[in-house]
Every structure is written in C-alpha cells, then in structure tokens.
Structure 1
Amino acid sequence: MQALLKLSRMIDALTERVGKATIWLVLIVTLISAVNAFVRYAVNYSSNGLLEIQWYLFSAIFLLSAGYTLMRNEHVRIDVVSGHFSPRVLAWIDIVGTLFFLAPMAIAVLYLSWPIFVNSYLNNEYSSNAGGLIIWPVRGLVPVGFALLIVQGVSELIKRIAFLKGLIDDPNAKPNAPSAEEELAKAIKQQRGESV
C-alpha cells in the first residue's frame, strides 16, 4: 500500500502543477476578452480568431483543471445529503462512484474523443469561420483532459482505500488552503515584486 500511496503523491504533484498552470489561463482569457471587446467597440474591428482563442482557452481551463478540482475536493457534491454521513461512508461512496461512474464515463470520453482528435490532426482541420484558427489543438484537449481526470481518479481511489485501512487522514476533509483566486492573486503579486 505504501507504493500505491507514493504513486498517489506523484499523481497529485502532477495534477497540482497542471492545475496551477491552468489558473494562469483564466487571466490570459480575461485579458484577451477585454482587448477583443475594446477593439470591437473602439475601432469597430472584430476577429473570429480572437473569439475562437477565447473559446479554446476556456475549453483548456475546463478540461485541464477537472483533475485538479477532483483532487481539491471542489467537485459537485450534494452536501445536504453527504453532510449526514460519516467519513468512512463517504469514502465508500467515493470508491463506488469512482469505479462505477467516474472511471467508465472518463474512459468512454477518452476512447471516443481520440479518433476525432487524430482525424482533425491528420487533416489539419481549420475552423470554417473566416479568419478562424486551427482546430486540432483544442480537439486534443479533450483526450488529454480526460486522461488527467482518470489518473487523478486513480489517486483518489488509492487515498480512499488507504483511509479505510487507517493509513492516512480523511481525504475528504477540507484543507485550510487558499482558494484558486487567492493563489492567482498571490502569484501576480510575487511576479510584480520580482519584476520591480
């Protein structure tokens, strides 16, 4: 079990890196959106490419941070119901949910999205909009995002089993860590302090 917990920590470290990198995409997409709106209304110029890059970045944020959201226990739960269960019952619910719902759904999406990405890549698919962008990179985000979610699901499964065996503390306990927004603000302040 210790080897599996080490694997879980390695997966968590990868997920943490991907999640923290993805946080920066929120700032980038916000800036692009603001510039796009300003240019459209100030100089009456519009670009399909700018609109599409916003959609692509939003897709990246959603898909690449799914595993990070799962790791941080920020995914949707029915707290009215789950708040009445003991930590052990919640761990069992998570195990059953991961094995019978999360894993099959994520594997199915990964399996079905891969050929679409490969076809798009081989055909060098572009948007049908005038001035649109190449499509295969955003199609590639779907299998990558779901692969990361599957890997993080394995880590969460390991942690729940280890908790039930008494080897680790409750993985569902909410840590007193800063929110994603607070982490982004801190990173911006640090960046500004280094460049001054």
Structure 2
Amino acid sequence: MGGSPATQLTIAARLKAARSAKRMTLDELAAASGVTKGYLSKVERGQSNASVAALIRICEALELQVGSLFDETPVGEVVRAGEYPPIEFGGTQMTEFQLTPTGERRFQVLLSDIAPGGGSGSDTYSLPAEVEFAMVIEGRLHIDFVEGNGSRITLDRGDALTFEADRPHAFHADEQSGAKVLWVLTPALAHRRLAEAAE
C-alpha cells in the first residue's frame, strides 16, 4: 500500500465528492467503471487503495483528472529533497511522490519507491498521455506489455525505457531487490481528461 493514511483519506474524500457532485450512486459508478460496489465503497472510505488500472477507470467514469486527486502545488515551487509531496496513484506496496508542481502542464515527473514484489497491481492499464519514460534509480523493475503474445522488459539500475503511454502495461519491482523508479509523462496527467484514454 502506497502513501500515508492522510493522503489515502484525501484521495478517498475527493473521489466521494466527485461522485456526489455527479449525483452518481455507488451502483452507477461500479457499472460505469467496471469496479465492484464493495471495492468502491472501501476506496471511498480510505480502507483500500485502488490499483492503478482501477483508479484510472474510476476517474474516467467520473470524468475526473487523476491529477486533481493530489494536493495542488503552485507552479515554480521548488521541491526539496526529503520534502517530496506524496501522491496516491494506486498500486500496492509502493510509495509515490510527485516531483513537478501540479500546475506544470507540459510534463509530469513521479518517483516510485517500490517494495520487493510491489507495483501497479495485476491489471494492465494505459495512460492518457503521449509518452511515458521510466528510469530505474535503484533495484530492478519488470514492465509487462500485453499486445501480441505479450512481452516483459526488465530494467536494472541505470536502465531507461521510453514508450507510448497508451500501450496497455503493468509493472512490478523484482521480488528480491524492490525498485526506485523515476517516471516522466508528457503531457502531464493532471491536465488531460482521463476519458481520452478510452479513445
């Protein structure tokens, strides 16, 4: 589970507020997102973290930008080492931080600290961005793609991969080493409608 309990509760409250603003019931959101009502209820109460894929589907159904779930940071603000704002982007056994201000529209930089075996979850997902870049700072990361017969790319410390963000994929850290990964997305997710991912 990534992020602090306070961050998890903030995300939960924002998801519930977005659902209420759209006057959707849990049943309606479950049907629209493909996520069970019970799971949604736990996510909204802060009792469960959504996988990356589930979080994207929930936000798509709510016509909500993923970035709107995170605390706003003014454009131009320096983010000091050790003071990175935590974000909750789903997945398991990882803590994530946003290194760029949420007002930055051209690109978004995230840092994931992933425990051994942790990652995005078992479901593949794609992002409503054009390009995704991953660089392993520590450990080893496995990225699985589903097109064709499927393929796995393993990145070790110092390795980097650039790919189209809309390619369905999932990732997890090596069972032995875990991983610390720098991600760059362009344009920033906070300023793209998640509904575009379905197109």
TM-score, normalised with respect to structure 2: 0.22
Between Structure 1 and Structure 2, which shows a larger proportion of helix residues?
A: 1
The structure with the greater share of residues assigned to strand is 2
Rg comparison, structure with higher value: 1
Question: Which structure is richer in relative contact order (CA contacts within 8 A, separation 6 or more)?
Answer: 1
Q: Normalising to structure 1: TM-score of the pair?
A: 0.22
